Amino acid sequence: MTGVPEPLPGWLTAASRITVLTGAGISTDSGIPDYRGPKGVWTRDPDAEKLVTLSYYLADPGIRRRSWLMRRDLRDADPQPNAGHAALVDLERQGRLRGLITQNIDGLHQAAGSDPDRVLEIHGTVNEVLCTKCGDRTPMRAALDRLEAGEPDPACLVCGGILKSATIYFGQVLEERVVEAAVAAATDCDVFLAVGTSLTVHPAAGLVDLALGAGARIVVVNAEPTPYDDVADLVVHESIGTALPRLLASPA
């Protein structure tokens, strides 16, 4: 296991444009399980991946009902931001955050205090609902209220179409505007920090290649090894909530 070095490398403390990519690992301390880790949701139950696969979701009412129950359970768990999220808020306040790209859909960066306009949610958000037919967007809370009132698979109130969370399912294309902004942040930084992500899902993992090509230093903070550990300038296998505040402490 590799911990946070003492003292921190000079190139890290001197960095003024840090782009951060976060994955599920940053939210596990908030009680949200990851997906691909040894105890991840899809590792333990491969069929759970169908809940976020568009073709299965649209074709199978049973899948949709399970999905709505999963969303309700997430809301009832009421996850809160943790020290890892707070460290990134502090980095923004230091004026050293170039961009915050997240693969997460939980909204915990914004809840922690990150500027919503600076958070690039490449996989969308679970806090809104989207109609797959007319595109109407509404708050997730309203749809879950209908679920509690007895609708196991609430339909769009505008057109009657199938509703889904405003997240990117398998089989969907990422939003071009968000991807372009993520690429710009990855290619315009002096340090690219990957936190709590397996770096196996593209195009998110490819942002590391773009940052490398632009001359950025690479830092990986993750519980498990990643495909990019060998090219990283610093690899930390330590609790994210413990490591990030130390890695991103304000320079003296």
Give yes or no for a contact between 100 and 94, defined as CB atoms under 8 angstroms apart.
no
Distance CA 71, CA 163 (A): 13
* Catalytic sites, residue numbers: 123
Distance of CA 121 to the CA centre of its chain: 7
Q: Output the six-digit token pair for 213.
A: 């090509």
18 and 190 Cβ atoms separated by less than 8 Å: yes
81: its two tokens = 């931001």
SS3 144: helix
Q: Parallel, antiparallel, or unpaired for β 217-221 and 191-195?
A: parallel
Output phi, psi for 193, to 5 deg: -110, 115
CA gap 25, 122 in Å, rounded: 16
Q: Are 192 and 216 in contact, with CB atoms under 8 Å apart?
A: yes
